[in-house]
Structure formats: C-alpha cells, structure tokens
Amino acid sequence: MSFSYNEKFMRRAIELSELASLIKKTGGVFGAVVVQDGEIIGEGYNQVISQSDPTFHAEIEAIRNACKNVGAPHLKNAILYSSAECCPMCLCASYWAQVEHIFYGAHVEDALKYGEFKDVDFFKEMAKPKSERLIKMTEKLRPDAVDVWKRFSVMPDRARY
C-alpha cells in the first residue's frame, strides 16, 4: 500500500518538538503524531527530562496514545510522522505497533550535530554481535525461563498479539 504525505501532520510533529525542547524544556527536540484515515489518533513529545524516564520519547507516547484511542495494540494502515528519524527503540516500537509508514524530518546525524544525541551510535551498537556490545549480555537459567514459554505455548486461552 502506498501512503501519501500530508505536510500538516509533519508540521504538527515539528510543533511538538518545539514544545518539548524550546518551550516546556521537557526533553529533546522530538515530536510525533500517528495518523490513521487522515486523522491524528495519537501524538507525543519528548519528556525524558521532565518524567525522569529514558523511554519517554515522542514516538513512544504517540504510539501509546494511538493504541489506547483505537483500543488495540496494532495500528493498521497508520502513518507515523516524526520530527526526527526514529531511534532504535522507537523504530522497534513502530514495528511492534505495525505502523505502515514513517515520515521524518531531521536525520540522526542532525540530532548528533545540533543536540549531541548519539542515536547513530545505538544503530551501530545494535548491529554488533552480542559479545562485542558495550552492554554485556549473559544467559542464565534458560531451562527455567523456557519452561514458562513451553507452558504458555500450549495454553488455549493465551494472550495473542
């Protein structure tokens, strides 16, 4: 499916980025809106500083609001407009929410140059093998953890999404 760009939604995302960074000073220069059927169904702006929450990104808030508004964890035929290219967390959240298309303004390189946001480093870090990442990962108690997965897999009434 092809999605058409609508400038008013990108301008709203940029307005929200200005609200977050220059007016309310709640976090970085990030704003986002989720659009479905030509209507905004969720919006958000960065509140990492004001909420003391490293996950309080504009895109995450917009997706949460949109999902709540449609009453589902998936956003079929939805478009995400973001004032900046998504970080890995927000990009993955978009995949989880099944967003169909993302339009963005600034690049991760712009965020690095003008705001010292190192999202570009996170993309590089994610591409490395686990053994070479800055945050070390060690498997423990896998049989016990997998046992719960096995029991979950045969539940006829398990949560599916």
Active site residues: 59
Write the DSSP string, 19-49.
Answer: IIIIIS--SSS-EEEEEETTEEEEEEE--TT
Positive or negative: CA dihedral 20, 22, 23, 25: positive
Q: How far is CA 26 from CA 83, 84, 107, 109, 114, in A?
A: 16, 16, 21, 22, 17
Tokens 């970080």 — which residue?
Answer: 87
The residue type found at 84 is A
Tokens 């600034």 — which residue?
Answer: 106
Q: Which residues contact 16 (CB under 8 A, 6 or more apart)?
A: 30, 31, 32, 33, 43, 44, 45, 58, 83
As given in the structure block, the two tokens for residue 67 are 């999902």
